[in-house]
């Protein structure tokens, strides 16, 4: 086991994104959480190919910072957001078909919505909102996902001023990784990256080769 920089596994992920850029479904991954009933709950989450890449945002250096945070976008599902608030731990499973690489990224999720009182986080949420296309923003004006369908109500196409800031239904989910499991099926290589905090509260990463 050796001490490494967070950029070690980050670079593996960025390389995989680049080498699989021609494969449209490589922009989507599964995010698993724990439901309020104690059972697994899974969603497919993605980001827009032509938007400001959320995986390249950098956080200011701070205690416990991993120097690499995953910014996730999602239409508000009231039940799912409530579950995340009760248990903020989640794991990404991301498979790249062209390069035969899999990433399992474990960490905690911070939910940034309009009620957040941190001005820095609200700025992040606003940047995320405007980095998506106007067409994508319209989906946040539709009926709230997860609630019962009340009859066959005629659907009215929503409209939105492109200069308007984030609507209430828009949340920014921020995953702060604690553990990364990397598997390359072509080279039959598997690496496990694990973080821990030192006495100063700084996050340190170690890597270890393990059996595929």
How many separate domains does the chain show? Answer: 1
Q: Give the model's pLDDT for residue 6.
A: 62
Tell me the per-residue pLDDT of 176-208, one tens digit each, with 9 for 90 and over.
899 999 999 999 999 999 998 888 878 889 999
For residue 201, the SS3 value is coil
Helical (H) or strand (E) element with 72: strand 70-75
DSSP 190: E
Q: Does the residue 153 lie in any domain?
A: no
Q: Does the residue 57 lie in any domain?
A: no
Q: Does the residue 124 lie in any domain?
A: yes
* Range with lowest mean pLDDT among 20-24, 49-53, 73-77, 205-209: 49-53
Q: Encoding tokens for residue 6? A: 């967070």
pTM, whole model, 2 decimals? 0.80
What share of the chain has pLDDT > 70, as a percent? 76
What's the domain range around 121? 2-48+63-144+164-209
Tell me the per-residue pLDDT of 109-136, one tens digit each, with 9 for 90 and over.
988 888 999 999 999 889 888 888 788 7
Alpha carbon 165 to chain centroid distance?
Answer: 21
Helical (H) or strand (E) element with 33: strand 28-34
**In contact, 64 and 203? CB cutoff 8 Å:** yes
Residue 55: other Cβ atoms inside 10 A: 14
**In contact, 203 and 181? CB cutoff 8 Å:** no
Q: Does the residue 71 lie in any domain?
A: yes
Which domain CATH number covers 174?
Answer: 2.30.110.10
Q: Does the residue 79 lie in any domain?
A: yes
């Amino acid at each position: 086991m050796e001490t490494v920089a967070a950029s070690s596994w980050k670079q593996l992920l960025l390389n995989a994104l680049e080498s699989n850029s021609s494969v449209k479904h490589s922009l989507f991954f599964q995010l698993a959480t724990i439901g309020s009933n104690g059972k697994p709950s899974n969603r497919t989450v993605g980001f827009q190919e032509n938007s400001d890449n959320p995986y390249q945002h950098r956080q200011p250096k701070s205690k416990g910072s991993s120097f690499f945070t995953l910014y996730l976008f999602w239409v508000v599902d009231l039940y799912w957001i409530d579950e995340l608030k009760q248990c903020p731990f989640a794991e990404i499973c991301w498979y790249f078909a062209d390069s035969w690489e899999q990433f399992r990224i474990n960490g905690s999720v911070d939910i940034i919505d309009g009620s957040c009182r941190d001005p820095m986080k609200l700025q992040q949420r606003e940047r995320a909102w405007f980095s998506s296309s106007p067409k994508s923003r319209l989906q946040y004006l539709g009926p709230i996902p997860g609630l019962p369908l009340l009859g066959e109500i005629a659907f009215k196409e929503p409209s939105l001023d492109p200069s308007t800031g984030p609507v209430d239904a828009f949340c920014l989910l921020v995953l702060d990784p604690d553990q990364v499991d990397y598997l390359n099926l072509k080279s039959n290589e598997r690496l496990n990256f694990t973080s821990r905090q030192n006495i100063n509260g700084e996050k340190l990463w170690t890597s270890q080769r393990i059996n595929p």
